[in-house]
Structure 1
Amino acid sequence: METAQSRQQAAPGAFTAFARFVFCGGGVGLASSFAVAALASWVPWALANALVTAVSTLLATELHARFTFGAGGRATWRQHAQSAGSAAAAYAVTCVAMLVLHQLVAAPGAVLEQVVYLSASALAGVARFAVLRLVVFARNRSQAAATVGVARPVDATVARAATPAAPGVLCRAA
């Protein structure tokens, strides 16, 4: 039977992880830009962007868990939630970029909209990479979370040192 430890892959280096992030996240992002453009012809752009962002975030988080950061399996609910937080920030960046574009240019063409959208997405993507690598899929956090709740024996000297000197004393001078 395969255990979580044996299934876990070695964490890739920063350059490898970034290359994988660009490939996976960039591929999903590029497909998303076309999906937003197509969907925006039927619904308001902000709604189209929100729907596509939600779906693409779920897909990208799974790809990042399995491939980009070498987490060794499916993304956890915690990772999905944290990834969604960074995606919400990216959504805000793309919405602001598009809002600014429409304030500056009365009727921007589809190519200009794509350039602005993809540029804002790329900027947000670099920030998302840092958050995902350093927080969401960080090795020490996932290993620490896996060991929470595991009972370990406490050495008698450690237990004695942790006991307050007198009842009612909350702090001691060191």
Structure 2
Amino acid sequence: MDTARSRQRAEPGPLTAFTRFVLCGGGVGLASSFAVTALASCIPWALANALITAASTLLATELHARFTFGAGGRATWHQHAQSAGSAAAAYAVTCLAMLLLHQLVAAPGAPLEQAVYLCAGALAGVARFAVLRLVVFTRNRSQATATATAAAAAVPTARPVCATVARDSAPARPADLCPAA
């Protein structure tokens, strides 16, 4: 039962989880924006974004599994696959934002591209937080709750002890000795 309690204490609340999400995911996102810009000087921007998104999603999912959502261990392949779905949506949002930027500004500089990329990434990040917390890493919270429930059920409950009184006459029936509680 102590293990179940420590797991429950290890699970962060929504505000703590969001703060950790911003720090971990934001740090990876910030590094990704520089990596995309650097890689886009050699290959097409959409391909650079796809490659960096894939790499950063793997890294961020591991960080979120270990720190953000209190799983305490490595992310499973199933969680990586689910996280990839939300990353694909984030990829679409950042690509659309960059496409719109290039439609509106003939030759945007790197600082403007990064600002647009980061803003689009932040918007996608808020939606991604909700998906990760409510869908991807929800099983960990359910398992901790199930473990705590099972541990609580395993604790024997106290039942009233009925005293028996010796009778000189016929033996008493069990129902007479211990009335229903």
Tell me whether the two structures share a fold, i.e. TM-score over 0.5. yes
Matched, 1:60 2:81: no
For structure 1, the residue ranges without an aligned partner over 5 or more in a row are: 148-174
Deviations 1:27-86 (A, max 9, x none): 000000000000000000000000000000000000000000001200001100000000
Q: 1:96 matched to which residue of 2? A: 96
Q: 2:177 matched to which residue of 1? A: none
Deviations 1:151-170 (A, max 9, x none): xxxxxxxxxxxxxxxxxxxx
Closer, same or farther: CA 8–74 of 1 in aligned 2, 3 Å: farther
Q: 2:124 matched to which residue of 1? A: 124
Q: Counterpart of 2:24 in 1: which secondary structure?
A: helix
Q: 1:46 matched to which residue of 2? A: 46
C-alpha contact 2:65 2:74 (8 A) present in aligned 1: yes
Matched, 1:136 2:136: yes
Once the two structures are aligned, what percentage of the paired residues are identical? 84
Closer, same or farther: CA 56–5 of 1 in aligned 2, 3 Å: farther
Aligned ranges 1:1-174 → 2 under 5 Å: 8=7, 10-139=10-139, 143=143
- CA–CA distance in structure 1, aligned partners of residues 41 and 6 of structure 2: 44
Deviations 1:118-164 (A, max 9, x none): 000000000000000010011467529x99xxxxxxxxxxxxxxxxx
TM-score of the pair, normalised by structure 1: 0.77
Q: 1:172 matched to which residue of 2? A: none
For structure 2, the residue ranges without an aligned partner over 5 or more in a row are: 148-181
**Structure number with higher relative contact order (C-alpha < 8 Å, ≥ 6 residues apart):** 2
Give RMSD over aligned pairs: 2.2
- CA–CA distance in structure 1, aligned partners of residues 62 and 7 of structure 2: 15
Closer, same or farther: CA 81–107 of 1 in aligned 2, 3 Å: same
Runs of 4+ deviating beyond 2 Å:
4-10, 139-144
Q: Aligned letter for 1:129?
A: F
TM-score of the pair, normalised by structure 2: 0.74
C-alpha contact 1:11 1:139 (8 A) present in aligned 2: no
C-alpha contact 1:28 1:60 (8 A) present in aligned 2: yes
- CA–CA distance in structure 2, aligned partners of residues 139 and 11 of structure 1: 12
